[in-house]
Amino acid sequence: MTDPTTHTPTTALADVQARIAAAAHEAGREPATVHLIAVSKTFGPEAILPVIEAGHRLFGENRVQEAKAKWPDLRVRFPDLLLHLIGPLQSNKTREAVALFDAIHTVDRPKIARAIADEQKHQCKRLKLFIQVNTGEEPQKAGIAPQEAASFLAHCRDDLSLEIAGLMCIPPQDEEPAVHFAFLAKLADELKLAELSMGMSGDFETAVAFGATYVRVGSAIFGAR
C-alpha cells in the first residue's frame, strides 16, 4: 500500500502504471498494448498539472462543459495531450465535443452517431470512436443493447461512414465485472473490433486480464471525488 502521507497523483499514477504492467505480464500481454486514461473529472489544473509534468498525456473527462472550461489552456501548453470523452453525449453538445476531444467512448444510439458523423465532416476531424454496450442490459443505463450491437455497428459504418475502433462498457455496480469484461471481449472479437475500453479504479487489473486496451482510472490516481 502507498503511504497516505506521500500519496500524490504523481505517485499514484506510477503505482497504477506498475499494476497495469503486472496485470498485462500475468495475462501474457505486452503492457504497451494497455492505454491508461487518467480520468480527471471534478479535478482542477492544480491536480492535473503534476500528472502531465510526470509525462502522462492521455486524459478522460465525462462532461463536455467541464472539459471545455479546463482543457483548452492545457492543450495550448501541452500540444501532445490526448483527451477522451468517456461520459454520455447529448446531441446538442456534439459540435463542442468533436472540437475538443480526440476520442468518444459513448457512441450509443443512431442520433448521436449521425451527429458525430456530420460534425466530423464539418470540422474535417476524425475521432477515435467506441460503441458503448449496455452489457448488464440495465434499463436506465446508456449503451446499445448487446443484441443490437452488430446492426448498430453496420449502420455506423455503412450509412454514416464512421470508423469504429472498439467497444466500451460500464458493468453494473453490484455484479462481478469479470463477467461483463469477458462478454465485451467476446463481442468485440465477433465484430472484429480491436479496441476494448473497460476497467476503472476498482477493477482495471481484471479488465486487463480480459483484454482491455483502454482502462479509465480516476480515483485511484486523483483521489476520492
Rounded Cα gap, residues 25 and 19, in angstroms? 10
Rounded Cα gap, residues 52 and 165, in angstroms? 25
3-class DSSP state for residue 103?
strand
Kindly tell me which residue out of 19, 35, 41, 141 binds ligand PLP, with binding defined by CB under 6 A: 41
**How many residues sit close enough to ligand PLP to count as binding (CB under 6 A)?**
14
Cell (9 digits) for 211: 483484454
Asked if 199 contacts 37 with a C-beta cutoff of 8 angstroms, the reply is no
Percent helix, percent strand, percent coil in the chain, to nearest 5:
50, 15, 35
Kindly tell me which residue out of 56, 109, 128, 216 binds ligand PLP, with binding defined by CB under 6 A: 216
Site string for ligand PLP, 164-203 (x = CB under 6 A): ------x-----------------------------xxx-
The DSSP letter of residue 93 is G
Q: Is 45 in the site for ligand PLP (CB under 6 A)?
A: no
3-class DSSP state for residue 129?
strand
Of 72 and 202, nearer to ligand PLP (C-beta) is 202
One-letter amino acid identity for 136?
G
Helix (H) or strand (E) holding 37: strand 35-39
Rounded (10°) CA dihedral 114, 116, 121, 126:
-130
Q: Is 13 in the site for ligand PLP (CB under 6 A)?
A: no
Helix (H) or strand (E) holding 84: strand 82-85
Of 62 and 213, nearer to ligand PLP (C-beta) is 62
Q: Is 141 in the site for ligand PLP (CB under 6 A)?
A: no
Kindly tell me which residue out of 9, 136, 143, 218 binds ligand PLP, with binding defined by CB under 6 A: 218
Shortest Å distance, C-beta 80 to ligand PLP: 23
Q: Which residue is nearest to ligand PLP (CB)?
A: 218
Site string for ligand PLP, 73-92 (x = CB under 6 A): -------------xx-----
Q: Is 17 in the site for ligand PLP (CB under 6 A)?
A: no
Q: Is 39 in the site for ligand PLP (CB under 6 A)?
A: yes
Buried b (16+ CB within 10 A) or exposed e, 166-180: bbbbbbbeeeebeeb
Q: Is 62 in the site for ligand PLP (CB under 6 A)?
A: yes
Q: Is 132 in the site for ligand PLP (CB under 6 A)?
A: no
Binding site for ligand PLP (CB under 6 A): 39, 41, 62, 86-87, 170, 200-202, 216-220
